[in-house]
């Protein structure tokens, strides 16, 4: 189990840390960068010294490796131009820039490679999560720690989460997606959105979107040993449609966890798909109890470990999933699928309270309400045409909830997320919401027709028979209930 300790994580510190001496180590001025042996590390020098923790790929130049891209970026000395250089890249990474005596940090579009940081005078500390910072820096919990973990919200939500930018420790900060930070200044600088969404007719945007998505998947296949996750849903199906020419060479899989039985749609539908399309497909059992040794390690690897759910699944992955494979996930796709307004009608004149109410239980937590207020007031003006509910899902739900999930599962797998691309997300968000609604997005269906129509032969997210019958019965009796409750005396 020792090799799983802080697996795929990293630490930047001004002092040597003997416990990590077996990790990849770079001396950066007076600081030391430690990167776990199973996390990729690249460096390049030019106008600035650059260190890439993780990986990125360029779907417009599929032959380039992370190192090649990093060398190109290092030629640019002006930090203000870095957002443009990173715009089309997809991957999971933290980019550390040494500029004179300062450190500057960027990460991937949705912040899936997490960055927590702190400063003390000229000393800079950064890591995947606060428990690694605590190895080299005394950090004290804030009062929000007890408020949160003793809350009804946490008790009732196995996948509980907090907004991006927060931590439970004094002088420890979390980098929010679409921001970068200079260590000398501490405050994060928003660099995106910085322009209006692209314009175009639906068919034009559809063709660009489908072409780019396929290029992203193909480029990843050229550089990574991939395994594609399959569910009954839209996200995995549209990614599957990119694999028509690759299906003979890659593995597909489904995780069986929680109480999923053979009749669960996320088990049944992928099995039908794999049989129809002749996929190399496996189901990995993640329902067995975890060992005490793994339980202890999992809790020590991150400060918000979701042991009783994600931890149980992770143990199953460790025991069944091929450890050399990079898992392909459909996460981040729902940024463009009207998640918080499924009727495709974005509410006007939203308030910060409307944002807080999106996650049931947050309204009882003052530190979250205050943080959301600050974020909301920063973004309610000059959104460049981006709907604030989409930005909230992007920067907070993906930048925290999904990022935390991938951080915790670093202990058992590396992850690649094709939708973790600003360019791809922009193309989606530029499409009229009526074409990208949550339950039946025409953009997705039309993309599949272009890329691999056969994937549509099996239903997507079909409603189980019991739920269909319940829906019919409710529909029949609802008018009767309304009549019975009517006050006829008012006539």
SS3 317: helix
Q: Are 124 and 12 in contact (CB under 8 A)?
A: yes
SS3 438: coil
Residue 332 has phi, psi (to 5 degrees) of 80, -15
pTM of the model: 0.94
pLDDT the model gives residue 86: 99
Which of 160, 166, 220 has the alpha carbon at shortest distance from 188? 166
Q: Are 455 and 273 in contact (CB under 8 A)?
A: yes
Q: Which CATH number does 2-190 carry?
A: 3.60.20.10
In whole angstroms, give the CA distance from residue 120 to residue 97.
19
pLDDT digit string (tens) for the chain, length 491 residues: 889 999 999 999 999 999 999 999 999 999 999 999 999 999 999 999 999 999 999 999 999 999 999 999 999 999 999 999 999 999 999 999 999 999 999 999 999 999 999 999 889 999 999 999 999 999 999 999 999 999 999 999 999 999 999 999 999 999 999 999 999 998 999 999 999 999 999 999 999 999 999 999 999 999 999 999 999 999 999 999 999 999 999 999 999 999 999 999 999 999 999 999 999 999 999 999 999 999 999 999 999 999 999 999 999 999 999 999 999 999 999 999 999 999 999 988 899 999 999 999 999 999 999 999 999 998 766 689 899 999 999 999 999 999 999 999 999 999 999 999 999 999 999 999 999 999 999 999 999 999 999 999 999 999 875 565 565 565 566 566 555 555 545 55
pLDDT the model gives residue 447: 99
- Domain 202-336+395-468 sits in which CATH superfamily? HUPs (3.40.50.620)
Q: How many CB atoms lie within 10 A of CB 291?
A: 13
In whole angstroms, give the CA distance from residue 215 to residue 424.
11
In the chain, CATH 3.60.20.10 covers 2-190
Pairing of strands 41-45, 179-182: unpaired
Q: Kindly state the tokens that stand for 49.
A: 């010294």
pLDDT the model gives residue 379: 78
pLDDT the model gives residue 2: 86
Which of 369, 420, 359, 407 has the alpha carbon at shortest distance from 161? 359
pLDDT the model gives residue 478: 56
In the chain, CATH 3.40.50.620 covers 202-336+395-468
In whole angstroms, give the CA distance from residue 388 to residue 379.
7
The region that residue 486 occupies, defined by phi over 0 for left and psi between -120 and 50 for alpha, beta otherwise, is: beta
Which of 48, 119, 34, 121 has the alpha carbon at shortest distance from 81? 48
DSSP 378-414: HHSS--TT--HHHHHIIIIIIIIIIHHHHHHHTTT-E
Enumerate residues 6+ apart whose C-beta is below 8 A from 29: 98, 101
């Amino acid at each position: 189990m020792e090799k799983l300790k802080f697996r795929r994580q990293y630490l930047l510190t001004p002092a040597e840390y003997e416990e990590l001496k077996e990790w990849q180590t770079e001396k950066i001025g007076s600081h030391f960068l430690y990167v776990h042996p199973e996390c990729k590390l690249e460096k390049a020098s030019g106008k600035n010294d650059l260190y890439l923790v993780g990986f990125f790929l360029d779907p417009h130049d599929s032959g380039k490796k992370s190192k090649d891209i990093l060398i190109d970026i290092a030629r640019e000395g002006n930090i203000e131009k870095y957002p443009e250089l990173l715009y089309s890249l997809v991957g999971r990474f933290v980019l550390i820039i040494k500029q004179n005596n300062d450190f500057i940090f960027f990460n991937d579009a949705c912040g899936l490679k997490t960055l927590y940081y702190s400063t003390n005078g000229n000393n800079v500390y950064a890591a995947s999560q606060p428990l690694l910072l605590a190895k080299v820096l005394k950090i004290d919990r804030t009062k929000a720690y007890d408020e949160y973990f003793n809350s009804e919200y946490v008790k009732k939500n196995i996948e509980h989460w907090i907004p991006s930018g927060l931590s439970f420790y004094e002088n420890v900060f979390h980098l929010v997606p679409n921001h970068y930070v200079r260590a000398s200044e501490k405050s994060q600088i928003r660099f995106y959105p910085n322009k209006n969404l692209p314009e175009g007719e639906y068919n034009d945007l559809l063709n660009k979107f489908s072409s780019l998505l396929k290029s992203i998947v193909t480029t990843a296949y050229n550089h990574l040993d991939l395994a594609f996750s399959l569910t009954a849903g839209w996200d995995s199906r549209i990614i599957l449609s990119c694999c028509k020419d690759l299906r003979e060479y890659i593995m597909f899989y489904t995780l069986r966890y929680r109480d999923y039985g053979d009749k669960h749609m996320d088990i049944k539908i992928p099995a039908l798909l794999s049989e129809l399309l002749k996929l190399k497909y496996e189901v990995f059992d993640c329902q067995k109890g975890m060992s005490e040794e793994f339980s202890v390690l999992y809790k020590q690897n991150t400060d918000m470990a979701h042991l009783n759910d994600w931890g149980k699944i992770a143990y199953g992955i460790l025991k069944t999933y091929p450890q050399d494979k990079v898992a392909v996930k459909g996460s981040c796709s729902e940024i463009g699928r009207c998640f918080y307004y499924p009727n495709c009608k974005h509410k006007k004149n939203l308030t910060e309270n409307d944002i807080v109410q999106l996650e049931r239980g947050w309204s009882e937590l003052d530190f979250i309400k205050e943080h959301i207020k600050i974020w909301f007031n920063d973004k309610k003006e000059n959104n460049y045409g981006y709907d604030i509910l989409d930005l909230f899902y992007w920067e907070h739900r993906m930048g925290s909830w999904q990022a935390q999930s991938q951080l915790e599962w670093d202990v058992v797998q590396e992850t690649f997320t094709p939708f973790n691309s600003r360019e791809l997300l922009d193309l989606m968000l530029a499409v009229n919401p009526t074409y990208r609604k949550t339950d039946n997005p025409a953009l997705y269906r039309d993309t599949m027709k272009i890329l691999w129509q056969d994937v549509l032969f099996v239903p997507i997210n079909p409603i189980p028979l019991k739920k269909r019958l319940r829906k019919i019965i409710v529909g029949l009796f609802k008018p009767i209930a309304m009549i019975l409750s009517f006050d006829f005396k008012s006539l």
